[in-house]
Every structure is written in C-alpha cells, then in structure tokens.
Structure 1
Amino acid sequence: MLKLEIVVREEKVMEVVAALERCGYPAVTMYPVEGRGSQKGLVEQFRGRKYEIPFLPKIKLEVVIRDEDYERVVETIITAARTGEIGDGKIFACPIADAVRIRTGERKEVAL
C-alpha cells in the first residue's frame, strides 16, 4: 500500500477528488495548506503598491492506494490537476505498513 500526499491548487480539488473516486478511491483526507515552490510566492500590484505573497494557498489531499494502482492513479491525478502553469502542485508517495478499520478490525488492503 502507498499513501499519496497530493498538493494541488484550490480550484482543482473537486476535479482531483472526482478523479480519485473514478479510480475506486473515494476516501480522501483534505487539509488547507500554504506553501511555495520554485515560483517563490507571488508579487502583485494594487493601487500602485507592490504586495508580496510569500506562501500561496493550496490543498493537500491524502489517499491510501494499492501498490498495483499507483501508475494509473498518478496519471489520473495529473490529468485532473494540471493547468500547465507554475504552481500546479506535487504528488508524494510513501509506503504504508498496515491499515486497520477500527469498526471491524479488518487489516491491510481490505481496510481501505
């Protein structure tokens, strides 16, 4: 099993969640986060003044998937989240040793 940590633009969240659901993974955890990547924030002008925004709002999604679904799920996320502009986000994959459904005690992939 793998845990995917998916950081995307706020406006792409529902598209990514719908894509995960189509892949068979409707269970998603979502966090509002702020961060920056290679673009190092944003500089905007308003009424003749420059405003620096060092961290941009993003959404972090977490989902646990089966190892064999990794490539298919990642490609689906990329298709749903991509705008082609800097700041589209990142996907991080971490191995998961176990999962337990508290209600039933089911373990491993059955608990997903």
Structure 2
Amino acid sequence: MQPSLLTFLSFPPNAAPVMKRIEVLIPHERIQNAERALSQSGIEGLTLTSVYMQCNSVSSFSAGKNRLMGKPCCKVDLLVSDDDLPAVQKALVQIGHPDLRLQIFVMDLETTIRIRTGECEEAALR
C-alpha cells in the first residue's frame, strides 16, 4: 500500500528552499543556442512557451500608423538546484551577450513533488 500524499508534504517548518525556478524570454532564433548551452551546463529539462514580448513601437504604413503589439519570442522555464544556478545563469548570459537584452528572473521554489511516485525536491526532477 502506498503512503498518502500528506506524508510527503510533511516538510520541516521554515526550511530554506533548495531549488530555484528560472524564467527568461529568448528570441526564437536563439532557442537552439540556449538549449545547447543549457545542455552543456547539465540541464536537460526545460519548458518552452511561445509568447509575445512587449514592444512599444509605432510603425508607419501608407494607410496610417499602427501600434505593434509585441515581438514573438520564447519563454524558457527551468527548475534547477541552488548548486546549478551559477552555471545556468552564466550560460544564459552568454547567449544574449552583448547585443541582446535578456532579463533572467530567478524565484525560490518551496516544494517539488512528483505525484505519480511521491518523490520530492531534486529527485522529482530527475
């Protein structure tokens, strides 16, 4: 008999997060470079989402002025351990440097649970 999910959720109170969630917007033409650099850093899993980056420019056509809604790009989501964070940040900075203005967002990840197996934290990501 498998233990209930509640037994997996009993973490020590005020435990420091050991994982990070990284979010970065990358132009479509740089995605293969990003995947290659992250793979060399030891990161195999990532989530790609097609989004539009905010663009506040106005273009003039013969029919008048049109406001551009946004530039298409990919949002890359990664879950990494604290130990892997510096290598991942370095890889992402090298992708965009020096001509691309990337913003890398790093957030604490409190808990990761794989529902099917009940694995927690880093074991749930492997």
After TM superposition, the score normalised by the length of structure 2 is 0.71
Query: What is the distance in 2 between the residues matched to 1:33 and 1:63?
Result: 16
Matched residue type, 1:98: T
Task: Assess if the C-alpha contact under 8 Å between 1:44 and 1:50 holds in 2.
Answer: yes
Call closer, same or farther: CA 1:29–1:53 in 2, change over 3 Å: same
The Cα shift of 1:81 comes to 3.2
The count of residues paired between Structure 1 and Structure 2 equals: 107
Q: Does 1:11 align with 2:24?
A: no
Query: What is the distance in 2 between the residues matched to 1:47 and 1:83?
Result: 35
The unaligned stretches of length 5 or more in structure 1 are: none
> What is the aligned partner in structure 2 of residue 90 from structure 1?
103
The Cα shift of 1:2 comes to 0.2
Task: Assess if the C-alpha contact under 8 Å between 1:9 and 1:58 holds in 2.
Answer: yes
Please give the secondary structure, in 2, of the residue aligned with 1:98: coil
Percent of aligned positions that are identical: 25
Q: How does 1:1-112 map to 2 (within 5 A)?
A: 1-36=19-54, 40-44=55-59, 51-82=66-97, 84-85=99-100, 88-112=101-125
RMSD: 2.1
After TM superposition, the score normalised by the length of structure 1 is 0.79
